[in-house]
Amino acid sequence: MSHDHDHTEDHAHVHRYPPRPDQDDTLTYYRAMEAAVRELLIDKGVLTAEDVRRQVENMDGRNAGLGAKMVARAWIDSAYKQRMLANGSEAAEEIGLDVGPLKLVVVENTPTVHNVIVCTLCSCYPRMLLGLPPDWYKSRNYRSRVVREPRAVLAEFGTVIPDDVLIRVHDSTADMRYLVAPRRPQGTENWGEAELARLVTRDSMIGVALADPA
């Protein structure tokens, strides 16, 4: 299509398209239930609409940069790493990350062990440190397959784990939440914490990828 067409005609053309519907305009059973419970809580004064909005904004504002900060600190401070592996929640609080009542277990990748996390029962995820989970993490495909053929699933993500590295799958079935500490990439010996944190991606902390190379 040429860019020197008649602009007026093009403008009229655009308006012939019907507006695209919202993706959430179907009132399903659970959407109706969520709206009913939320409106009742507001009517009864348990919560305000502002509380709900603030909490949604808070969760939407969380992202993998929080978990990355923790991993990068562990890469440069081995005493911190030991505390992090012993008690993830306390180690997060120690560097100013608010994890609320989250019971965090950090699992470390080593030359002989690769860790990956899943919640086969629902979608448990360290949201306080990674933000909302990606859609694939909640899919039946990932949840049912990564627990029984982790090597094949990781390969689909482009992550081929050598045969001499054992894979440890963590199924978050109850009260713990997991974060994978990926291995520190080679060639980063003199890097600072902020620089290192940029290599620690969301997927590397789920365990479906390695940290980005230097």
Partner 1 sequence: MVREAYPIGHVRTPYYIRGKHGVIERLCGAFPNPEELAYARSGQPAQPLYRVRFLQRDVWPDYAGQPLDVVEVEIYQHWLEAEEHAR
Residues taking part in catalysis: 119, 122-124
Q: Are 193 and 72 in contact (CB under 8 A)?
A: yes
Q: Is 113 helix (H, G, I), strand (E, B) or coil?
A: strand
Q: Is 82 helix (H, G, I), strand (E, B) or coil?
A: helix
User: 3-state SS of the chain: helix, strand, coil percent to 5?
Assistant: 45, 10, 45
Select from 157, 171, 188, 201 the one that contacts partner 1 (CB under 8 A): 171
Q: Is 175 in the site for partner 1 (CB under 8 A)?
A: yes
Min dist. Cβ of residue 60 to partner 1 (A): 27
Min dist. Cβ of residue 147 to partner 1 (A): 6
Q: Is 174 in the site for partner 1 (CB under 8 A)?
A: yes
Sites for partner 1 among residues 74-113 (CB under 8 A): 103, 105
Q: Are 199 and 214 in contact (CB under 8 A)?
A: yes
DSSP 152-174: HHHHHTT-PPPTTSEEEEEE--S
Rounded to whole angstroms, the Cα distance separating 118 from 177 reads 10
Select from 172, 207, 209, 210 the one that contacts partner 1 (CB under 8 A): 172
- Per-residue x/- mask for partner 1, residues 35 to 74, rule CB under 8 A? ----------------------------------------
Q: Which residues bind partner 1 (CB under 8 A)?
A: 103, 105, 120-121, 147-152, 163, 166-176
